[in-house]
Structure 1
Amino acid sequence: IGLLSICFFFLLVAYLLLFKASLLSLRELNLFFLLHRVVTGHREPIPDDSKDNITIFTRILDRLLDGYDNRLRPGLGESVTEVRTNIYVTSFGPVSDTDMEYTIDVFFRQSWRDERLKFDGPMQVLPLNNLLASKIWTPDTFFHNGKKSVAHNMTTPNKLLRLVDNGTLLYTMRYDLVVSMMALMHVEINQYCCADDEKSVSVAPDGSRLNQYDLLGHVIGKETISSSTGEYVVMTTYFHLKRKIGYFVIQTYLPCIMTVILSQVSFWLNRESVPARTVFGVTTVLTMTTLSISARNSLPKVAYATAMDWFMAVCYAFVFSALIEFATVNYFTKRSWAWDGQKEPRRATSTLGGKKTNNTFNIVGTTYSMSVAKDPGLTTVSKSIRLPKMDGEYVPEGGRKSYNRVSKVDKISRIIFPVLFFIFNLAYWATYVNRKPTINRSSPQK
């Protein structure tokens, strides 16, 4: 009995060890199977519902495009096709003043309804590939004042097409547009109809790329243009810009002001200093001419005068007037004397005195010698009378004209020119800087 008990115990231990080994083998097999599924990229089978949706929409698209003619617009001969547009400006600028153009980056959206594309399916909105856009009718929209447009094609053409079950399509494209600045910025929609919506154009809050302007806002309108081929509806967008004056103050206004002040320094120079005053006058006139030319090269060539043109014209007038003032003063200035309307009292005095010399007479600087015959019986007498020489020039009665006096014209110019220039600047900056810009809404034309 004892031997049987020992054998039974060993059999039980062996059984337990074998059972544990079998459990470990099963776990290793399960782990190996999972790793094999991960490495080989095994995927779960697609549910039957998804397979059914793909199959259903494939059949729907095949049925919709079967017999579809993309050369004909929806509702041809029956009703007008209404195309709604929306523009989202992601980037505005830069603006070229000389070329009269600006650049914008936009998402251009169009929406219309095509009864031929109605469908019934498990989804109301069906996202489509951009290749399908070439198989359906799309509006022939173009930008009326666009010079150049570039469509984004990275990494694929940036086009979005969505189809709603009632036949409404949403077609979105991304463009870089170079647009000319006109009195009316037109965006031509199509030859049928355009919906006017206040929110049809929006600008991103951080979309401004303008260095010399501030984008104040935009106004949307609608117009109708008649031509020989028919009437066209045009959606207009007015972008209102305000010029930043800081750049022009540094580059144009301050140099002009300093040039005018420099031209007025000549009023304080001696009027006989012809070379110095000539240099001041000619140099300031040439400087103003150079500033005017450089300023006009950075601005568009327009037929009207701008605020900067008026400022530079007045500064040029001040500089040129300073040169004319010097010419006037110099005309009345003589090299030996100059008359300023005042007389100087006589300063010449005459004194008489005698000085004895040997047989000579000095009269007003001229010496006359006199020889007297000697008589032994007579005593020789030698006398000399000298009339003193008068100091200075001969001065006629009534006084003489003074020399090197300050001209009355210079005295008046020293006050009048700075005062007038200060008044002009005060009126100019009060008028153009403090004027608040207004955004006028244009009424749609029909």
Structure 2
Amino acid sequence: MDAFVSVFGMMWALVLVLFGWSSTVAMATRREDIIKSLLNDSVYDNRIPPNYEDNFPTNVTIQLFVLSFDSVTESSMDYSMTIFLREHWVDERLKWEQKVICADDNNGNNSNATGRSCNKQPTTDNYVGYPSNSSDNFGDDLMGDEVLDRLEVDSKLLDMFWMPDLYFVNDKDAKIHDVTMANRLLHIYRNGTIRTSIRISLTLSCDMYLERYPHDEQTCSIYLGSYSFSIENVIFKWHDLPVVIRDGVTLPRFRVQIGESGECNFKFDSGSMIGGNYTCIRADFELVREFGYYIAQVYVPSCLIVMLSWVSFWIDLEAIPARVSLGLLTVLTMTTQSTGEKASLPRVSYLKAIDVWMSGCLVFVFAALLEFAYVNVQSRVEKRRQSFVERGRPGGGSSRVRNGASITSCDPIDKITEESEVEVTMSKQHVSKRHLFKKDFTGVQRARMADKFARVCFPFSFLIFNIIYWMVYVASPIV
């Protein structure tokens, strides 16, 4: 009797296992059958928008989740970032009412083949967009009493469904990530709600105004529009939380902030070959430039170069090679730094703040070189006049020149006359020599006074230049 009971128990357990397995297979097949029935060509055509035959457009709700800001390039006026593009719309053709039968697990709880509990599943009865309390759960917290809330479609089947013809208006380059599979998802809810998410890397153009560079703030926008359908068929609108930036997103030279968002409808006039009003939405990113890099790499080095040019004012007037080398070194260094800093900027027609600073510093170091040239000219006058005085001393002899011939007189009266003339000439030359030395003394003093004046004037002028520059470009508000 005990053996019979044991065999009967084993057979009953086997029946339960087989029944559970068959229920799971039936459920998985039924889930697959739902997708196949939705994609029936006689009912659903993915080439036609959901409300194409109706008198109202399809509303597509969009949200951007920014994974990273990769770069901001002033020379090409663009910026790069990676985003999750999330879209939501309702397609009445994709409604489904089939229920999935749940099997009991070992603990007596209802669960489906995926292991998710069936006791309480999401519904979309009151769904009006993405969840307002979170940007990441993507609607998974909406709970109801349905047995199965959604169908998760494989990315390989996405091309079989109608998708909004969204494009990025100011896009330069873009790619959809496909490692290890295409980073795309699509969920179908019972009431025909469709939610998609795509991971995209973008390079977008940005109209930058660099008058205050590097003290500027740039507003870079992203424009999303429908390329082929006008507002009669498709309308884009932002979710209540249009843009979400991942915590910790940073850029080396910028602080990223979320700006305004709104509409930017494209309307083609009567002169265009294409007519109609096309939907477009816009989101702004405020890029506040961080100033620490430019203090360390531009302003401090250029200030030191300008101060280095002032060292020549304390070098002796006779040390010509030292002063020439120092002046040329500072001018060339300042020119090289200015050229290197401008290489990463576009060639705009207006004056930038960095141009004002670099030009001002270049003027100061060049003026220091010109000051040396003036001092050198004044100091060399002394040497030329001293050599002139030495060459002008009278020679001996009493010969005179008459009618082009030298005549030597032996008359005592003539000799006395000649000696008198020599004494008068020597007296005049002595007076002239004292006058020349007086001029020389004035020239040397003028050179030394120029150096003393430059030691005070140049630092004071550079201080005034700094005060005006920082007040205009930093203290004044950005218009």
The aligned amino acid for 2:62 is T
- Tell me which amino acid in the other structure corresponds to 1:328: Y
Q: Does 2:207 align with 1:207? A: no
Where do residues 37-436 of structure 1 align in structure 2 (5 Å cutoff)? 45-46=19-20, 50-51=24-25, 53-66=27-40, 67=42, 68-78=44-54, 79-122=56-99, 123-182=148-207, 185-190=221-226, 191=229, 192-197=234-239, 199-208=241-250, 210-227=251-268, 228=272, 229=274, 230-336=276-382, 394-395=430-431, 400-403=438-441, 404-405=444-445, 406-433=447-474
Q: What is the Cα deviation at residue 232 of structure 1? A: 2.3
- 1:217–1:303 distance in 2 versus 1, CA, 3 Å: farther
Q: What do you get for the CA RMSD once the two structures are aligned? A: 3.6
Alpha-carbon distance in structure 2 between the residues aligned to 1:225 and 1:408: 70
Do the aligned partners of residues 367 and 182 (structure 1) sit closer, same or farther apart at CA in structure 2, a change above 3 Å counting? closer
What amino acid does structure 2 have at the position aligned with 1:309? Answer: D
Task: Note if contact 1:128-1:160 (Cα within 8 Å) is conserved in structure 2.
Answer: yes
Q: What amino acid is aligned across from residue 266 of structure 1 in structure 2?
A: S
* Matched AA of 2:20: I
Structure 2 contact 63–238 (Cα < 8 Å) conserved? no
Aligned to 2:104: none
> Which one-letter code corresponds to 2:455 in the other structure?
R
Unaligned runs of 5+ in 1: 1-21, 340-363, 369-386, 439-446
Higher Cα Rg: structure 1 or 2? Answer: 1
Asked whether the equivalents of residues 160 and 173 of structure 1 are also in contact (C-alpha less than 8 Å), the reply is yes
Unaligned runs of 5+ in 2: 100-147, 209-219, 386-393, 399-422
Cα distance in 2 for residues equivalent to 1:282 and 1:100: 36
Shift of 1:147: 2.2
Query: Cα offset for 1:436?
Result: 7.3
Q: TM-score, normalised by structure 2?
A: 0.65
Residue 395 of structure 1 and its aligned partner are, at CA, apart by 4.6
Deviations 1:133-161 (A, max 9, x none): 21111111111222222222223222111
Shift in Å, 1:367 = 12
Distance 1:75 1:281 in 2: 77
Structure whose residues are more often helix by fraction: 2
Q: For residues 157 and 196 of structure 1, do their structure 2 counterparts lie closer, same or farther at Cα, with a shift above 3 Å needed? A: closer
Q: Is the 8 A contact 1:106 1:174 kept in 2?
A: yes
Provide, for residues 300-350 of structure 1, a one-character-per-residue CA deviation record: whole Å limited to 9, x for no partner. 3333332222111110111122222233333444442699xxxxxxxxxxx
**1:91 shift after superposition:** 1.2
